[in-house]
């Protein structure tokens, strides 16, 4: 037994620090931490640091149920023990300066008391989601010096989250999920690849310090203010931009309003396109849909975002083809050939009730794949067939690996369960990222559709894809035409909700923080948010 460990055990100490050269020398003799460490269940503080030979930790760390502070900095950890997620009393977790590339998707979901999280200086390309119910105490997050391009969804219920450091990552687009964190006081996103900073940031009333130096911003005035560390001036500049945009693009009304004020009617004259947003709890037959996400899918493909589009025009000759071509285009580009995200579109009238997003044994999932005939097949058989076709193509073209078009198939190659979306009658309508089902296929007569975006990367990419497909639908004129108020076309969106298996809300789309497009859009769109008068 190591002397530090023996002393902690014999004197029933609550703290243990193992750090530096003396620990490294012991590991050179026997490359294993003293297993007695994991029996010291009284510990509330454990530090194992500056030990470059520490690459993994025992699953027995999960026995240290009283730990409130765990510091594992400056080692060579490349993965975390599965059982670490069970340290429910953890308040402070420092995993900085390691070699972590991924973290299990359910890692944060049971850390109910977590307040500070430091994952800086690792190799992370993605981050697992936070829980709106269980991570409410989270206050400080440091993700600097990683390889992140996107963030998971940050629920607005994280009401204590005050400081986030995202500096020195690979963000090309500002993570929109941060725009709903009203408790945010300090945001650092220096040294990324951002070209724009959303003016909506100015609406975070508690934000006192924002840093975005060393980004290739298009707005030279904003860039100069930032380089001069004029935080107050930066926020005032963004607030001015926001106010100007809101004066010209956003109007709010109620379902009982009979007419718009004359001034607003004059303002509307410059718009040719309109989006109306219906609340989830719309009365009558226009109630929204709810998607329940079950725990099994969290380790497979955890992110899903849905939206109902009503009043769509697929009847005009050529419109359905244009819409399907649009999906293919987005799959190739922003979805990176389905490896980042996948789009599913369904005729809402063919879907029964609310939906379930789950992961199941592929041998037990049955569906008729879109465009593959009337025969019901298992998800396993369908996937195997796609793999055989992709392998045949690879050999035919004498390539060493699958073509980019087929790389999305590798996302499921080691999965025991496949993600699937089912309706109230248990009919599978989607098997992402592979296919939709023939059952909910769009046709020229489809008037209301469900758009479903799923990803194994982040909620942020789901939002970006959803934003883009809705904008493109306006561009290719899929809205119904209007003759009043100089409106060329109108799309009606309706909120959908995603909840967990306990009924806790995870996401609503579109929410009040969504669809703020006009600052980056070449196509002026009037956004009208219809609310229910109580």
- Cα(107)–Cα(130) distance, rounded to whole angstroms? 9
Q: What are phi and psi for residue 383, nearest 5 degrees?
A: -65, -45
- Domain end among 245, 276, 311: 245
Average the pLDDT over 192-221 and give the result: 91
- pLDDT interval class at 487 (50, 70, 90): confident
Q: Are residues 117 and 229 in the same domain?
A: yes
Q: Are residues 226 and 278 in the same domain?
A: no
CA 388, 393, 396, 401 dihedral sign is negative
Q: What pLDDT, on a 0 to 100 scale, did the predictor assign at position 287?
A: 74
In a domain, 250, yes or no: no
Query: Burial letters for 348-382: b for 16+ Cβ neighbours within 10 Å, e otherwise?
Result: bebbeebbbbbbbebeebbbbbbeeeeeebbbeeb
Higher-scoring residue by pLDDT: 512, 469: 469
- Cα(356)–Cα(190) distance, rounded to whole angstroms? 40
- pLDDT interval class at 299 (50, 70, 90): confident
Q: In sequence order, what DSSP letters do the residues of 125-181 get, joined into one string?
A: S--PPPPTTT-TT--EEE--SS--S------TT-TT--EEE--SS--SS--GGGGG-
Q: What is the largest CA-CA distance in the chain?
A: 84
CA distances from 223 to 190, 270, 406, 518 (A): 12, 31, 41, 21
Answer whether 467's CB lies under 8 Å from 510's CB. Answer: no
Q: What is the pLDDT of residues 357-377, one digit of tens each?
A: 999 999 999 999 998 878 899
Query: Is 400 strand, coil or helix?
Result: coil
- Domain end among 215, 245, 275: 245
**Beta-sheet pairing, 116-118 with 273-278:** unpaired
Q: Is the pLDDT of residue 32 over 80?
A: yes
Quick one: which of 430, 469, 455 has its CA closest to 341? Answer: 455
Quick one: which of 62, 61, 118 has its CA closest to 95? Answer: 118
- pLDDT interval class at 37 (50, 70, 90): very high
Of 38-52, 142-156, 224-238, 455-469, which one has max mean pLDDT?
38-52
Angle at CA of residue 403, ends 398 and 407, nearest 5°:
140
Q: Are residues 72 and 195 in the same domain?
A: yes
In a domain, 311, yes or no: yes
In a domain, 428, yes or no: yes
Answer whether 412's CB lies under 8 Å from 383's CB. Answer: yes
Q: Are residues 270 and 225 in the same domain?
A: no
- Cα(206)–Cα(242) distance, rounded to whole angstroms? 16
Least confident of 64-73, 134-143, 149-158, 417-426: 149-158
Strand intervals (E) in 200-269? 209-211, 250-254
Of 322-331, 470-479, 501-510, which one has max mean pLDDT?
322-331
Contacts of 472 (CB under 8 A, 6+ apart): 326, 330
Peptide bond into 3 cis (omega under 30): no
The structural domain count of the chain equals: 2
Percentage of the residues of the chain whose pLDDT score is greater than 90: 55
Q: In sequence order, what DSSP letters do the residues of 230-259 get, joined into one string?
A: -HHHHHHHHHHHHHHHHHHHEEEEETT---
In a domain, 495, yes or no: yes
DSSP β-bridge partners for residue 308: 450, 494
Long-range CB pairs of 326-332 (<8 Å, 24+ gap) are 326/469, 326/472, 326/473, 326/476, 327/469, 330/465, 330/468, 330/469, 330/472
CA distances from 286 to 190, 255, 289, 292 (A): 45, 13, 9, 19
Q: Are residues 189 and 264 in the same domain?
A: no
Percentage of the residues of the chain whose pLDDT score is greater than 70: 90
In a domain, 12, yes or no: yes
In a domain, 349, yes or no: yes
Higher-scoring residue by pLDDT: 471, 480: 471
Q: Are residues 215 and 340 in the same domain?
A: no
CA 158 to mean position of chain CA atoms: 15
Answer whether 334's CB lies under 8 Å from 271's CB. Answer: no
In a domain, 134, yes or no: yes
In a domain, 364, yes or no: yes
Of 244-253, 391-400, 426-435, which one has max mean pLDDT?
426-435
- Cα(114)–Cα(106) distance, rounded to whole angstroms? 14
Average the pLDDT over 116-120 and give the result: 96
pTM: 0.60
Quick one: which of 71, 68, 40 has its CA closest to 54? Answer: 71
Q: What pLDDT, on a 0 to 100 scale, did the predictor assign at position 264?
A: 44
Least confident of 70-84, 100-114, 225-239, 267-281: 267-281
Q: Are residues 199 and 270 in the same domain?
A: no
- Domain end among 212, 245, 278: 245
Q: What pLDDT, on a 0 to 100 scale, did the predictor assign at position 274?
A: 82
Q: What pLDDT, on a 0 to 100 scale, did the predictor assign at position 401?
A: 65
Average the pLDDT over 232-248 and give the result: 81
Answer whether 341's CB lies under 8 Å from 457's CB. Answer: yes
Higher-scoring residue by pLDDT: 128, 163: 163
- Cα(35)–Cα(37) distance, rounded to whole angstroms? 5
Answer whether 485's CB lies under 8 Å from 338's CB. Answer: no
We report the CATH number of the domain holding residue 524 as: 3.50.40.10
Phi/psi region, residue 221 (left: phi>0; alpha: psi -120 to 50; beta: rest), is: alpha
Contacts of 319 (CB under 8 A, 6+ apart): 313, 444, 476, 477, 478
Show the domain range for 98.
Answer: 3-245
Other CB atoms within 10 Å distance of the CB of residue 155: 23
Q: Are residues 376 and 237 in the same domain?
A: no
Answer whether 489's CB lies under 8 Å from 477's CB. Answer: yes
Q: What pLDDT, on a 0 to 100 scale, did the predictor assign at position 261?
A: 45
Q: Are residues 232 and 259 in the same domain?
A: no
Q: Is the pLDDT of residue 279 over 90?
A: no
We report the CATH number of the domain holding residue 29 as: 3.80.10.10
Q: Are residues 58 and 193 in the same domain?
A: yes
Q: What are phi and psi for residue 435, nearest 5 degrees?
A: -165, 160
Q: Is the pLDDT of residue 41 over 70?
A: yes
Q: Is the pLDDT of residue 528 over 70?
A: yes
- pLDDT interval class at 251 (50, 70, 90): very low
Burial class of residue 534 in the structure, from the number of CB atoms within 10 Å of its CB (0-12 exposed, 13-18 middle, 19+ buried): exposed
Q: What are phi and psi for residue 266, nearest 5 degrees?
A: -65, -40
Q: Is the pLDDT of residue 534 over 50?
A: no
Average the pLDDT over 139-156 and give the result: 90
Peptide bond into 510 cis (omega under 30): yes
Q: What pLDDT, on a 0 to 100 scale, did the predictor assign at position 50?
A: 93
Of 145-149, 263-267, 388-392, 506-510, which one has max mean pLDDT?
145-149
| Start-to-end Cα distance in the chain | 69
Q: Is the pLDDT of residue 255 over 80?
A: no
DSSP β-bridge partners for residue 359: 419
Query: Is 51 strand, coil or helix?
Result: strand
Q: Are residues 241 and 273 in the same domain?
A: no
Half-sphere exposure in the Cβ direction for 298 (13 Å, CA): 22
Q: Are residues 422 and 292 in the same domain?
A: yes
């Amino acid at each position: 037994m190591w002397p530090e460990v023996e002393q902690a055990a014999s004197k029933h100490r609550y703290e243990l620090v193992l750090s530096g050269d003396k620990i490294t020398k012991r590991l050179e003799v026997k490359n294993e931490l003293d297993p007695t460490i994991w029996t010291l269940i009284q510990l509330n503080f454990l530090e194992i640091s500056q030990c470059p030979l520490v690459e993994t930790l025992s699953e027995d760390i999960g026995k240290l149920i009283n730990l409130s502070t765990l510091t594992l900095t400056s080692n060579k950890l490349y993965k975390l023990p599965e059982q670490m997620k069970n340290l429910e009393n953890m308040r402070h977790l420092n995993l900085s300066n390691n070699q972590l590339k991924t973290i299990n998707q359910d890692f944060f979901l049971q850390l109910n008391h977590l307040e500070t999280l430091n994952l800086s200086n690792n190799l992370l390309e993605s981050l697992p989601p936070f829980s709106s119910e269980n991570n409410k105490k989270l206050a400080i997050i440091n993700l600097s010096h990683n390889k992140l391009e996107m963030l998971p969804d940050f629920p607005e219920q994280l009401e204590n989250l005050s400081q986030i450091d995202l500096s020195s990552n690979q963000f090309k687009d500002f993570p929109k999920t941060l725009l709903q964190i009203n408790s945010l006081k300090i945001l650092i996103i220096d040294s990324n690849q951002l070209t724009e900073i959303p003016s909506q940031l100015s609406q975070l009333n508690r934000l006192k310090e924002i840093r975005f130096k060393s980004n290739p911003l298009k707005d030279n005035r904003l860039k100069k203010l930032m380089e001069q560390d004029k935080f107050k001036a930066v926020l005032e500049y963004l607030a001015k931009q926001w106010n100007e945009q809101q004066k010209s693009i956003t109007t709010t009304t109620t379902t009982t309003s009979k007419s718009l004020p004359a001034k607003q009617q004059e303002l509307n004259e410059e718009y040719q396109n309109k989006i109306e947003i219906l609340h989830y709890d719309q009365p009558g037959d226009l109630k929204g849909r709810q998607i329940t996400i079950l725990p099994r899918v969290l380790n497979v493909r955890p992110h899903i975002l849905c939206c109902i589009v009503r009043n769509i025009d697929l009847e005009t000759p050529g419109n359905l083809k244009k819409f399907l071509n649009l999906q293919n285009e987005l799959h190739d580009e922003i979805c990176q050939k389905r490896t980042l995200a996948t789009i599913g579109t369904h005729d809402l009238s063919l879907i029964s009730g609310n939906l379930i997003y789950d992961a199941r044994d592929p041998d037990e999932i049955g569906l008729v794949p879109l465009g593959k005939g009337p025969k019901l097949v298992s998800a396993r058989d369908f996937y195997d067939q796609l793999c055989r076709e992709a392998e045949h193509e690879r050999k035919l073209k004498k390539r060493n690996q699958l073509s980019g078009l087929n790389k999305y198939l590798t996302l499921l190659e080691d999965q025991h369960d496949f993600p699937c979306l089912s309706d109230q009658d248990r009919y599978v309508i989607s098997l992402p990222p592979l296919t939709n089902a023939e059952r909910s296929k769009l046709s020229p007569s489809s008037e209301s559709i469900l758009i479903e975006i799923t990803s194994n990367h982040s909620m942020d990419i789901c939002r970006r894809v959803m934003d883009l497909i809705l904008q493109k639908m306006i561009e290719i004129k899929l809205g119904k035409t209007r003759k009043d108020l100089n409106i060329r076309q109108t799309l009606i969106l309706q909120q959908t909700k995603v909840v967990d298996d306990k009924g806790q809300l995870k996401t609503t789309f579109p929410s009040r923080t969504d669809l703020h497009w006009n600052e980056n859009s070449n196509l002026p769109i009037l956004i009208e948010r219809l609310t229910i008068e109580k």
